[in-house]
Amino acid sequence: MADSPEAIRKSLRLYKLIGGVLFVGTIITVAVAKVPWLDVGHHGFDTADMILGLAIATVKASLVAAIFMHLNHEKRLIYWLFGFGIVAAFFLVALIGLAKSDPIHYNGFQDGVPGSETAK
């Protein structure tokens, strides 16, 4: 990690640059959602917008983690600790997959018959 005063002084420029990138990233995120000619995919919100929006957010979050939180040059133990948290969080999100692949799931009771789902 940049720990000496000289090294820290040098990294201040990088922090400013990353701050600028985060601002620009935010503007792009809003622009692709709000400006019609920047709209990707179909008209209005769709999967393409979702992927683009989340991709920009992921890049921004990675920059914050890597530069501001110094994960770009951190000790191995920290990678293990934080990595475990992220893997566990992904597992929580993946639980939705289990629900979606549940063979006996149904969209509610229709005409009083349980399981008479309409496939969508």
Note the residues at the interface with other proteins (CB under 8 A): 3, 5, 8-9, 11-12, 15-16, 18-19, 22-23, 26, 29-30, 33-34, 42-45, 49-50, 53-54, 56-57, 60-61, 64-65, 68-69, 75, 77-78, 81-82, 84-86, 88-90, 92-93, 95-96, 99-100, 108
Q: How far is the CB of 110 from other proteins (least distance, A)?
A: 10
- Nearest-angstrom CA–CA distance, 88 and 95: 11
Q: How far is the CB of 113 from other proteins (least distance, A)?
A: 16
Q: How far is the CB of 27 from other proteins (least distance, A)?
A: 9
- Nearest-angstrom CA–CA distance, 84 and 16: 30
Which amino acid makes up residue 10? Answer: K
Q: Which is nearer to other proteins, 5 or 112 (CB)?
A: 5
Query: To the nearest 10°, the Cα dihedral for 31, 34, 35, 40?
Result: 80
What spatial distance separates the first Cα and last Cα of the chain, rounded to whole Å? 52
Tally the residues of the chain. 120
Q: How far is the CB of 104 from other proteins (least distance, A)?
A: 16
